[in-house]
Structure 1
């Protein structure tokens, strides 16, 4: 995808770089706009951005701490509040699994996640979902990387992961 092709294709990239060091927060670029630390809308836990698919504009962002507090219910409500024909971008920072409850897992699975039940303490996880329509078959939607002291170069913190690609301009 080239930036000049935005009339036909919508560039999409998720880039959660937190694994390089604990203080680095996840970031997402959509139409070259940053959703992340600079806009103050990410923190420890599961970070979610809801985007209007027709316009590419951010509808809402929220982060849900899954290490402290009972935030699974509010996260489930946030996911369910996303309007039809929207994209949901989800990415973890630090811990996204310790207090992740069944209702939230089911809500994320309903959007097509195959990895939400595989998430462990400090797993890097990124997920792109479409609500109210289907994304084309060839689009990469989800990645997970687990914390492993023996394999990861960042003292047990998993390496950064990224989902990127192009999706058609209008929902199918």
Structure 2
């Protein structure tokens, strides 16, 4: 069988076309570099629509002047701890090594947005009276930020559930073993808090075998939770 060069020229194969395009591209790049030796790639300015703009707590948009930015993530199973960010301050997180099994709670000044105090409470083998005392001392003007990790419900008794319900929680009364939960509440709330997510531990639907998927809550909040 004779090799027909004229046929190859008339109908070039895809590999040959790609090779020729590569040679032309490299040649053009070589000419450009030699023609503009002072060209500096660090001075390239991306179009505004390509630029990535980050707002407080990595939100996709800024909060109005009268509201605070926040992002809460519950823990993932018993492997990755939760995180609580408020007004661009990462108050609790695994990186800071200040989170623990159970409930991780931050109290924030509702006027200034500054963190007042934070603490984790072991709800599997810890003393629930410690959490009860903590919740009873929540200041009237404080926001209460909560993120669960591993097991938030085993040691939660009716008195603790009532206090969380009084802060505006919709799910505190049903929180149980290894559920995922994030919540923002405040004292003397006139209605239930709109800032809450809950995922029940269900072995048939869990993402992490014995634990449900983590839950995430983010947005803008005012001192009055509206």
Q: Show structure 1 runs of 4+ deviating over 6 A.
A: none
Question: Is 1:116 matched up with 2:172?
Answer: yes
What per-residue deviation string (whole Å, max 9, x for no partner) do you get for residues 146-167 of structure 1?
2222212211311111122212
Give the 3 Å change call, closer, same or farther, for CA 154–103 of structure 1 in structure 2: same
Mapping 1:119-158, distance limit 5 Å: 119-132=175-188, 140-158=194-212
Higher helix share: 2
Question: Does structure 1 retain, via aligned residues, the 8 Å contact 2:162–2:173?
Answer: no
Q: CA deviation at 1:60?
A: 0.7
- Compute the TM-score of the two structures, normalised by the length of structure 1: 0.84
Q: CA deviation at 1:134?
A: 5.4
Give the 3 Å change call, closer, same or farther, for CA 165–147 of structure 1 in structure 2: same
Q: CA deviation at 1:5?
A: 4.7
Give the 3 Å change call, closer, same or farther, for CA 134–167 of structure 1 in structure 2: farther
Q: Residue in 1 aligned with 2:109?
A: 52
Higher strand share: 1
Choose from 64, 71, 76 the match for 2:132: 76
Q: CA RMSD in A?
A: 2.2
- Compute the TM-score of the two structures, normalised by the length of structure 2: 0.66
Greater mean alpha carbon deviation, residues 84-93 or residues 152-161: 152-161
Mapping 1:1-172, distance limit 5 Å: 3=56, 5=63, 7-16=65-74, 18-19=75-76, 21-34=77-90, 35-70=92-127, 72-132=128-188, 140-168=194-222, 171=224
Higher relative contact order (CA 8 A, sep 6+): 1
- Matched position secondary structure for 2:164: helix
Q: CA deviation at 1:94?
A: 0.6
Structure whose alpha-carbon radius of gyration is higher: 2
Question: Does structure 2 retain, via aligned residues, the 8 Å contact 1:51–1:87?
Answer: yes
- Matched position secondary structure for 1:150: coil
In the alignment, structure 2 segments of 5+ residues that lack a partner are 1-54, 57-61
Q: Residue in 1 aligned with 2:9?
A: none
- Matched position secondary structure for 2:95: helix
What per-residue deviation string (whole Å, max 9, x for no partner) do you get for residues 40-72 of structure 1?
3310011111000111111111111111032x2
- Matched position secondary structure for 1:113: coil
